[in-house]
Structures are given as C-alpha cells and as structure tokens.
Structure 1
C-alpha cells in the first residue's frame, strides 16, 4: 500500500532558533535556577483563544488593552497534553480557580479528586443533556519560527474534538511524530445547537521537518518535556490563572466530545 503524501498549507519557511545540544542538556536546571518555584506555565507566553465567534488569537503584550491579534499560529507542537478542570455551578470566567484540576487529564487534585476516567462529573449528562460538569481541554506548547521558547495555547472543549481528529489522521496517515512537522493552527466560525457562533480551532500541516532540523527538535523536546509536564505547585482551589479558557467556550461546547475515549 502506497504511503500518502502530506497535505501541506502555505506558510513562511520555519526557522529553528532553539538552543544547541550542550545547552539543552542543562535547560531544566537553568530554568529552575533562574525562576525558582515560580509556576512553570507562567514563564511561557499564553495565547488567548477567541470568544463570540471572533477569528483571531490574542498574544500577550505589555499593554493588555492592545493585544496582538493573529488569525493563525504556525510552528512545531513540541508537547501537548490533556487538562481537566471542574468549577461547581456555572463557570463565569472571572478568574475563579477550579475546585478540581487534573494537569494530566487523568488524576484530579481537589474536590472530588481521583481518577478522571471514573469520576461521575466527567461523564456526558453530568451537567444536563450531553454536557459534562468537568471541562475537558487540551494544552499545546507551540514553538514558532525564530523563537527559543514555546507559547502555550489551551484548547477549550469546543476545539478538543477537532484536535483529536487531526492528531488521529496525522498519526495513521503520515506515520510521523507530531513534532516532526510544522503545523498551522487556525480558526473557523461555527454555531452551536442554539445557533450561537463560536470559534473552533483548525489544524493543517505546513511542512515535514528536514531530518537535521528534526534531530535538533527531538533533543529540544527531550529537554523541555519534564518542564512542560511539571504539575502546578499549588493545590486545587488556589489555582487562579493556571487554567486559561473563556467562559463562553466552556458553556457552549461540551456536548461535542461524548465520543472521545476519555
């Protein structure tokens, strides 16, 4: 059976600016020394996912009143993992920390805590009809062209299904690791069952990395993953700011993911 070719999207050529191999080996030690016990995710730029059907990501800048708007993000996804969070009642988006939080999407810390797979709050219907009381999200760390550190994008429940489908197709069609290619993350406007518009993430392949570039990316990922996967140093109920997700997206999209295997 002939292997299918990558379907690529047009984008500027990706330029790698990661540290050399010698420095990568000491990267975790360097970050611990310079940042101490600072919450690890706070050292990466957080991309804000749009609300209300807007089709631009927001990048953090010194002036929060004038954020940089980007219709797409192009780079290498150096790591990604599931994230679950539970807010009792309706989530308002006012910075209230979750009552229960699973940094790995598997083990919840807080109330009720425990394994997410068997938690009744993580089942469709736990918040009326097909909605889940617990919010299933997916966190991406994207290394963009010319940068030495990745930016962090948390996909809301309304985009988890799109990413999972892309990841599944990418893996089985191309037989590549996700960090072997440059990926474009875009946005499209869709509507929920109540005809309310919201943004859903889209994913496409820009290019397969040359072997030499991938070798450097692979070493970079090995150095960074222990840092990126480090759980929060605070307990559930004290996590304001650790979960970046718009209230509007939380309220609208849970019913879309009942068929995912988690």
Structure 2
C-alpha cells in the first residue's frame, strides 16, 4: 500500500513538473532595430562562433557546431532566416523569449549549453537590434544534427528543475560609485561576452559555482581548459589592463604565446571586432571586479 502511495506521489510530482510552464511571454516589442548595432552585439555575444561550423565550411549562423559535455553532445541550431530549419517563422517576441529566457517558441526550455543565462538583462532595444541583424542573414536549409543526450538528460522537462535551482540574473547593472568604463566592462563581461561561462567551474549539475567566480575551469567541452582570471592569478602571469586589451584584439598573451582552442575563437570571431573602448572596459573590469569577486575562503 505504501509503495503504491509513493509511486502515485512520484508520478504526480513528475506530472506537475512536466506541465509547469516556463518563461514569461514578453510585451510586444515595436521598436525599430539597428542592424549594425545588432551585428556588433551578436559578435560580442559569441553568436557567430557558436552557430557557424567553420571547420566544415558551414554558412554563417547555419548551426551544427558540436559541443561535447559530460551530459552529452549538443549541436548549435540554425539561426538563419530559413523558415523550415532556422528562425524564419519566429516573431521578435519569440526571439526575445529565446535569447533572454532560454525558452523556445513552443514553450520548451533550452539546454544551458546555450548561454542564455548571461543575456537576461538585454533591453528591448538590444533585442530589436539583434533581430534586425538576424533578418539580414540569408536563409540556409541546413539541418543540424540532433543532440546526443542520454537518459535522464534527454528529458527536457527536467530542465525546469535545473532552472529553478540554478538560473540567476546575470547582474550586469551599473554599480554606484564606479565610473562608466568599469560599468561598461561589467555589463559586457557578466552579460554579452559571458566570460564566466568558461572561466568559472561547474557543479555536478553543470551550473556555475558561485564560490568559484572566474577561478578557471579544467573541464570545458571537448577537453578544453580555461585558466583562472582572478586578479591574483592574472598578476602572477604578468597580465595588466593593457595586455588584456591587446590580447582581446590579437590573441597574443604577455608571454608572446597565442590563445588556442575556445579562447582563440572568442578573439577571432568576437572580441577582435569590438571597439577599443569596449576592450578597455572589459579589461578594466576583469582586473578590478571589486565586490563581484567572492572573498577567498
């Protein structure tokens, strides 16, 4: 009898989670978008690097980039204007919900291999600009491979629990008492540029460790590695604000080495396209994150 009751309770809980809606439908966005500004924001956000399969000569934003993780292998989706395989049938509100909340037009949660947690503070104008830029992308009838994710991670409804436990505001807002350069760096590093996606370790559920902010990650997808970018480690390695600015433009480190792997792509397809002012802002913040960096234990 007790076993039957427990089974019913578990089934009821699972059913409730399955039916639990995620995301909040945005208000209509009727702003005019600036495609140039949107393209810049897309570069800063890593859209081109993550959604263009350069290794196979893929078309821009046609998806298919492989991301091997402990939870399975994910493939980035097609973001071209193709109506069948891309986002050609989406509305701007669908786009806003996907980018800021990680929820599909069908109301399904996206896997956090998509870095939407960092884009939660994008304004309606940001969304309008991005949307205008994506509308200029030619349609490509490319179908990326399906995710290769086994049980239980293939049960998307379980992501609702993950979101409830780990989804946080990116905290990109300006901090009173800090100058415009620092605050712009905070906005970019904690938001669009999503530095913490690679340079912060993860827990067993794949969520960022809040106590290891920028402390590095030895277990990135594909066996890659991201070093600590906490201040004391950067200073030990000879980094300065100026050398970070230079590295974000060229990929060359203070030792004369060059970035490889994921960081090389970040520079090649992202930060090298930023303005000198924005690279300076990111470097200024990284070298002085202030109270954003947790106290060492």
TM-score normalised to structure 2 length = 0.23
Q: Which has the higher strand share?
A: 1
Name whichever structure is richer in helix by fraction. Answer: 2
Kindly indicate whether structure 1 or structure 2 has the higher relative contact order, using CA contacts under 8 Å at least 6 residues apart. 1
TM-score by length of 1: 0.25
